């Protein structure tokens, strides 16, 4: 997409033309076509980036709010839920690994997406709606004036110019332009995770003839599709993803807690990644003939962070510019959805003449609380027990059940209003937050105790939990009740006082 001549002044300047920034611009213009919106995108064409899996909330956003169902069906893959693979020292093959996942195809849609294709599509739609798109435009600095005009210094090649806007939307992603510039950026020191990832060719087909002939009983145990799920290889202190992309490439990466896992020190990132994953029987079989795509290999430290301020009178941070938790369960696209929807509401209300102070305060309060509670409920110390089939089975049923019944159900029942309340910010959600924080913390304690006495992996081989799948019906609460009962029995068996 070619750049258009850029005005020196606009109503809304969006820094970043990927999914979050382009979607914000598009939604603003869809409701207020008269707005002058400029998108500053540093790249001349979008490249691939991590974040290929949607979950149910972000799938609703992409299909029902942005209307991208036709695009998603033609250019991306339907996702078939989550699968987890565990191994112990005696497991030799994929068929030996314990498995958690769905027995059938998923009943609520989600997608495996190629971000480069999706980002370009949404940016093109924002441009068609009236946004001025500047490619190769790097926002270097923003001078904030609360209640006034914001000034952005923009570099395009050798030229530096100034753009002023009443509102700035920071969708700069991990660069977190405003948070770093203003000193709001905070690393999450309680969650020191790192990641290495790449796109690969030659990853074996989970549902193909080769593996079915090699492991016929394993293949027959599942009646859906394993390959288009997000498959996770699990170990103590780490997990890895395998996400298929339309066209045959596969995104493969690992995330680990550096307090628990020692990352290999020698070799290229790709060779270290393959060596690490091939120590797991599932990784060894799936990746034995796979090769990474050159120039598509990545490494990142300090994954978790947040901004202490996410909105003011004249600016708002969306998606990863506002904070990032953890890629496990793919919450980033949901966070993007909630921040984009609320940013649109904030700006349009201000444009309509409503004093923004109360909405700004609520935006800051809600997303600060949501980040902190989301982290405490699900991710704090979770890596302690990721390699234990028995403990993850309990957490998976409880985590997923609470997500379906409490979070994902809201937009399907209430429409776009269900996308205006970030997780754990409403009064009814607080008891659920406390329950999730409690059981996740206890499972981490049990995992540490098991590790200290050298046990806890006896169920990592030869076990299979295949569930029918969650829906938004009340009957989906039954697996939660069963998981709670299993947890309490486990506490009794391993002594509550651990």
Query: What would the pLDDT profile of 43-73 be if each residue is shown by its tens digit?
Result: 999 888 887 899 999 999 999 999 999 999 9
Share of the chain above pLDDT 90, in %: 90
pLDDT band at 497 (very low <50, low <70, confident <90, very high): low
pLDDT on residue 271: 94
Q: pLDDT, tens digit, for every residue of 323-363?
A: 999 999 999 999 999 999 999 999 999 999 998 999 999 99
Closest CA to 182 of 213, 153, 220, 142: 142
The beta strands (E) that lie in 159-249 are given as 159-170, 185-187, 193-201, 230-235, 238-244
Q: What is the pLDDT of residues 201-221, one digit of tens each?
A: 999 999 999 999 999 999 999
pLDDT one-digit tens code per residue, 312-333: 999 999 999 999 999 999 999 9
Question: Residue 144 above 60 pLDDT?
Answer: yes
Radius of gyration of the chain (CA): 23
Instruction: State yes or no: pLDDT of 7 exceeds 90.
Output: no
Taking the mean position of all CA atoms in its chain, how far away is CA 308?
20
Interaxial angle between packed helices 429-452 and 389-403, expressed in degrees from 0 to 180 and rounded to the nearest 10 = 170
pLDDT tens track for 265-301:
889 999 999 999 999 999 999 999 999 998 899 999 9
8 A C-beta contact, residue 299 and residue 269: yes
Quote the pTM value: 0.95
Distance CA 363, CA 376 (A): 20
d(CA 401, CA 403): 5
- Closest by alpha carbon to 112, among 248, 298, 209, 285? 248
Average pLDDT over residues 454-458: 72
Alpha helices in 76-225 (DSSP H): 115-128, 177-182, 209-214, 216-220
The Cβ-side half-sphere exposure at 192, using a 13 Å CA radius, reads: 6
Distances (CA, A) of 365 to 31, 65, 178, 311: 26, 25, 18, 10
Q: What are phi and psi of 86, to 5 degrees?
A: -120, 155
Q: Is 486 exposed, middle or buried (0-12, 13-18, 19+ CB in 10 A)?
A: middle
Taking the C-alpha atoms of residue 350 and residue 315, their distance in angstroms, rounded to an integer, is: 11
DSSP assignment of 75-104 equals: HSEE---EEEEE--TT--SGGGBEEEEESS
- Residues 6 or more apart from 378 whose CB is under 8 A from it? 326, 329, 399, 436, 440
CATH fit for domain 1-76+113-187+306-380, picks 3.50.50.60, 1.10.1200.120, 3.30.2310.20, 3.30.420.10:
3.50.50.60
CATH fold label, 80-108+189-300:
D-Amino Acid Oxidase; Chain A, domain 2 (3.30.9)
Domain spans of the chain, in order of start: 1-76+113-187+306-380, 80-108+189-300
What pLDDT was estimated at residue 223?
87
> Rounded to an integer, what distance in angstroms lies between the CA atom of residue 419 and that of residue 60?
9
Mean pLDDT of the chain: 95
User: What does the alpha-carbon distance between residue 397 and residue 477 come to, in Å, rounded to a whole number?
Assistant: 10
Give the number of other CB atoms < 10 A from CB of residue 32: 17
On the question of pLDDT at 3 being above 70, the answer is no
How is residue 480 written in tokens? 């939660």
Q: What phi, psi does 337 have (nearest 5°)?
A: -60, -50
**pLDDT band for position 463 (cuts 50, 70, 90):** very high
At 40, give phi and psi (nearest 5°). -105, 110
| Confidence check: pLDDT of 453 > 90 | no
CA distance 145 to 54: 36
Dist. CA 51–CA 76, nearest whole Å: 13
Residue 494 has pLDDT above 90, yes or no: no
b/e sequence 204-219, b meaning 16+ C-beta within 10 Å:
bebeeeebeeebeebb
d(CA 78, CA 67): 16
Nearest to 106 by CA among 476, 472, 468: 468
| Strand 238-244 versus strand 323-324 pairing type | unpaired
Side-chain-side CA neighbours of residue 164 (13 Å): 5
Provide the pLDDT for residue 496.
64
Structural tokens at position 44: 């001349």
Residue 89 to residue 280: CA distance in whole angstroms: 10
């Amino acid at each position: 997409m070619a750049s258009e001549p850029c005005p020196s002044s606009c109503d809304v300047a969006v820094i970043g033309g990927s999914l979050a920034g382009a979607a914000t611009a598009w939604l603003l213009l869809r409701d207020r076509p008269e707005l002058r919106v400029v998108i500053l995108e540093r790249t001349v064409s979008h490249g691939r980036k991590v974040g290929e899996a949607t979950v149910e909330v972000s799938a609703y956003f992409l299909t029902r709010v942005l209307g991208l169902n036709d695009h998603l069906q033609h250019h991306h893959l339907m996702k078939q839920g989550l699968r987890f693979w565990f191994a112990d020292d005696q497991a030799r093959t994929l068929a030996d690994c314990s498995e958690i996942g769905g027995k059938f195809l998923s009943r609520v849609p989600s997608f495996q997406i190629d971000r480069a294709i999706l980002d370009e599509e949404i940016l093109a739609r924002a441009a068609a709606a009236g946004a001025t798109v500047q490619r190769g435009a790097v926002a270097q600095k923003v001078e904030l004036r609360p209640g006034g005009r914001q000034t952005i210094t923009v570099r395009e090649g050798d030229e530096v110019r100034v753009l002023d806007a009443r509102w700035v939307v920071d969708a700069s992603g991990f660069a977190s332009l405003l948070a770093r510039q203003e000193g709001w950026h905070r690393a999450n020191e309680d969650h020191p995770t790192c990641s290495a990832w790449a796109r690969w060719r030659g990853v074996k087909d989970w549902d193909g003839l080769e593996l079915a002939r090699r492991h016929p009983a394993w293949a027959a145990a599942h009646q859906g599709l394993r390959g288009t799920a997000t498959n996770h290889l699990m170990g103590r202190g780490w997990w890895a993803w395998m996400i298929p992309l339309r066209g045959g490439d596969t995104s493969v990466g690992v995330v680990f807690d550096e307090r628990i896992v020692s990352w290999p020190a020698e070799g290229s990132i790709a060779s270290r990644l393959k060596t690490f994953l091939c120590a797991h029987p599932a990784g060894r079989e799936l990746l034995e003939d796979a090769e990474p795509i050159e120039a598509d290999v990545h490494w990142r430290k300090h994954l978790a962070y947040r901004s202490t301020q996410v909105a003011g009178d004249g600016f708002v941070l969306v998606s990863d510019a506002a904070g990032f938790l953890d890629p496990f369960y793919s919450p980033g696209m949901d966070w993007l959805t909630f921040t984009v929807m609320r940013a649109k509401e904030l700006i349009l209300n201000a444009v309509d003449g409503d004093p923004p102070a109360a909405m700004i305060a609520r935006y800051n309060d809600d997303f600060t609380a949501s980040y902190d509670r989301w982290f405490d409920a699900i991710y704090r110390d979770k890596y302690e027990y990721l390699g234990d089939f028995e403990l993850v089975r309990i957490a998976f049923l409880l985590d997923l059940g609470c997500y379906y019944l409490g979070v994902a159900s809201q937009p399907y029942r209430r429409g776009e209003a269900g996308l205006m309340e970030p997780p754990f910010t409403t009064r009814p959600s607080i008891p659920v937050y406390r329950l999730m924080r409690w059981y996740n913390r206890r499972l981490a304690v049990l995992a540490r105790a098991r590790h200290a006495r050298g046990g806890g992996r006896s169920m990592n081989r030869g076990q299979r939990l295949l569930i029918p799948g969650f829906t938004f019906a009340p009957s989906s609460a039954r697996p939660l009740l069963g998981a709670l009962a299993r947890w309490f029995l486990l506490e009794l068996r391993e002594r509550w006082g651990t």
